[in-house]
């Protein structure tokens, strides 16, 4: 009789999978919680303790770490000596290992989780089972994801059994699963500080090292993208675990998001997160063509749009307040590619649906801020990665109040000009250098971005201010 070991934290589809294995002549061997789930469903199960001859011990820390388990997994069917050793020591061979691991990532994401709970959610036996089965993939099917249950049963029904390619694919995914698990543990433990015998978890904006000696980057693919920056470049969208920021965004409507859409949505969110008051911006090619604040979000949006209405056509809009009815009407009055906002109110959603192709994305802006302010930022260069802390304009690091600033002009700025400078300071951090912006206290008036010299940046900004026709001229008098 063939043997399957089942030990899972995620019980999704478990009973049906186990029933399918029984129907195909498998004996089921299982551990505590998994075994109870199966017996409660009326399925015959052999407890792992009956195989090892040892009870589960040390609060469940030791269950499957035994030669009668691992020998049965690692024995190579093509090696007569392995099979002879198994017979000599009474080790039954294992044909299927179905394991998913303690939910460490979910536990680590729990606010205020105690250190000892983190440690107890580090799985030891599970990864050992998975790695053993993945190593001996030619003889053992390793299953780590409930989405694979049906394909495994189908492969077992195939004439000749599962193909080598199918077995190897499961093995690769199993090693990726344990690798991601270990990476999550290492990442979380970097957030632990030790004072004598006290272990304290700190938030990423406290004392977590920005650049530890070794880093493992693990992410989950959300979806393939149509292409990258250009049509000949394949691309995909990934999220770190647990998902946060745009990795946890909700797409409410619109055409499929593109690679450049996502870059622009990120740029838009970063700008409007700088402001406590209602704020909006319009992005083109990761640069703002307009940014503004207002008493209401519709006022902020119309100011941002009108700061450069020509460039705003086909842009990406960022809002730091929910989209209300008035703002929705303003958004559909012109061509906008995509919008990112904390939420969309029901009346606004009905209006936005009139522009079915407009991409509407909502994201938790508190989570966006946590994912951004002190997050690492990566750049790839040929054969290497560069790492820096993300550049965000934190209030505590701004050079205000004015007493901290040295005025080098012939007169002191007025109160309005100081307000305009604070506004400009926040926006300017997100404009590609060399850059010059002219603003009043609520709205950008003209921008010159991404120029090879500051003189060119000034020329572009003043050219933009002059407008493409006389009615669109934006006077710069009184701006900073």
* Beta-carbon count within 10 A of 129 CB: 29
Secondary structure element (H or E) that encloses residue 198, with its range = strand 198-201
What does the block give as tokens for 36? Answer: 């109870």
C-alpha 154/C-alpha 158 separation (Å) is 7
Q: Where are the beta strands (DSSP E) in 274-358?
A: 279-284, 287-293, 315-319, 336-341
CA atoms within 13 A on the CB side of 343: 6
| Interaxial angle between packed helices 164-189 and 149-157, expressed in degrees from 0 to 180 and rounded to the nearest 10 | 160
Handedness of CA 5, 7, 13, 19 (dihedral sign): positive
b/e map 275-293, b = 16+ CB within 10 Å: beebbbbbbbebbbbbbbb
- One DSSP character per residue, 113-155 reads --HHHHHHT--SHHHHHHHHHHHTTTT-EEE--GGGHHHHHHH
Is the separation of the CB atoms in 252 and 360 below 8 Å?
yes
How far, in Å, CA of 396 to CA of 389, rounded? 16
**Cα dist from 351 to 38, 203, 252, 333, 361, whole Å:** 50, 40, 13, 11, 15
On the 0-12 / 13-18 / 19+ scale of CB atoms within 10 A, 313 is middle
Burial profile 101-116: b = 16 or more Cβ within 10 angstroms, e = fewer:
bbebbeebeeeeeeee
The one catalytic residue among 11, 116, 135, 464: 135
| Residue closest to 272 by CA, chosen among 363, 143, 384 | 363
Closest CA to 142 of 166, 100, 170: 170
Check if 177 is active-site: no
Cα→Cα distances 405→18, 180, 436, Å? 70, 48, 20
Q: Is 255 a catalytic residue?
A: no
CA distance 197 to 195: 6
Among the listed residues 48, 58, 138, 52, the one whose alpha carbon sits nearest the alpha carbon of residue 99: 48
Q: Which of 285, 419, 432, 459 is catalytic?
A: 285
Q: Which two tokens stand for residue 301?
A: 């949006």
Q: Please identify every residue annotated as catalytic.
A: 135, 285
């Amino acid at each position: 009789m063939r043997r399957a070991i089942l030990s899972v934290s995620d019980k999704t589809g478990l009973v049906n999978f186990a029933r399918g294995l029984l129907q195909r002549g498998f004996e089921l061997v299982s551990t505590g919680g998994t075994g109870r789930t199966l017996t409660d469903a009326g399925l015959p199960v052999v407890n792992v303790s009956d195989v090892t001859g040892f009870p589960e011990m040390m609060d469940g820390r030791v269950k499957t770490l035994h030669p009668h388990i691992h020998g049965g997994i690692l024995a190579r069917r093509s090696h007569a000596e392995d099979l002879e050793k198994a017979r000599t020591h009474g080790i039954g061979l294992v044909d299927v290992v179905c394991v998913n691991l303690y939910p460490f990532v979910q536990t680590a994401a729990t606010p205020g989780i105690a250190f000892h709970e983190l440690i107890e959610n580090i799985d030891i036996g599970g990864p050992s089972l998975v790695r053993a089965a993945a190593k001996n993939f030619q003889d053992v099917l390793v299953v780590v994801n409930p989405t694979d249950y049906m394909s495994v049963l189908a492969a077992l029904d195939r004439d000749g059994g599962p193909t080598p390619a199918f077995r190897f694919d499961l093995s690769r995914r199993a090693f990726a699963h344990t690798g991601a698990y270990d990476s999550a543990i290492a990442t979380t433990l970097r957030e632990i500080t030790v004072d004598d015998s006290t272990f304290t978890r700190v938030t990423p904006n406290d004392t977590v090292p920005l650049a530890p000696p070794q880093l493992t980057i693990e992410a989950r693919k959300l979806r393939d993208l149509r292409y990258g920056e250009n049509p000949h470049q394949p691309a995909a969208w990934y999220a770190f675990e647990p998902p946060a920021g745009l990795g946890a965004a909700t797409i409410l409507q619109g055409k499929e998001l593109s690679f450049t859409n996502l870059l622009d949505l990120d740029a838009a969110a970063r700008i409007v997160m700088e402001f406590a008051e209602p704020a909006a911006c319009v992005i083109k090619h990761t640069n703002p063509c307009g940014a503004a604040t207002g008493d209401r979000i519709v006022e902020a949006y119309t100011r941002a749009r009108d700061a450069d209405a020509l460039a705003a056509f086909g842009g990406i809009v960022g809002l730091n307040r929910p989209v209300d009815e008035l703002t929705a009407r303003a958004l559909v009055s012109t061509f906008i590619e995509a919008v990112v906002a904390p939420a969309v109110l029901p009346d606004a959603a009905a209006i936005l649906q009139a522009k079915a192709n407009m991409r509407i994305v909502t994201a938790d802006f508190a989570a966006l801020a946590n994912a951004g302010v002190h997050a690492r930022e990566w750049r790839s260069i040929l054969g290497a990665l560069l790492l820096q802390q993300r550049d965000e304009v934190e209030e505590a690091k701004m050079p205000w109040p004015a007493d901290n600033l040295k005025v080098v002009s012939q007169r002191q700025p007025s109160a309005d000009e100081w307000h305009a400078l604070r506004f400009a300071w926040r926006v300017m951090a997100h404009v590609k250098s060399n850059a010059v912006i002219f603003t009043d206290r609520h709205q950008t008036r003209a921008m010159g971005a991404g120029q090879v010299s500051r003189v060119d940046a000034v020329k572009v900004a003043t050219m933009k201010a002059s407008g493409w026709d006389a009615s669109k001229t934006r006077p710069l008098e009184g701006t900073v």
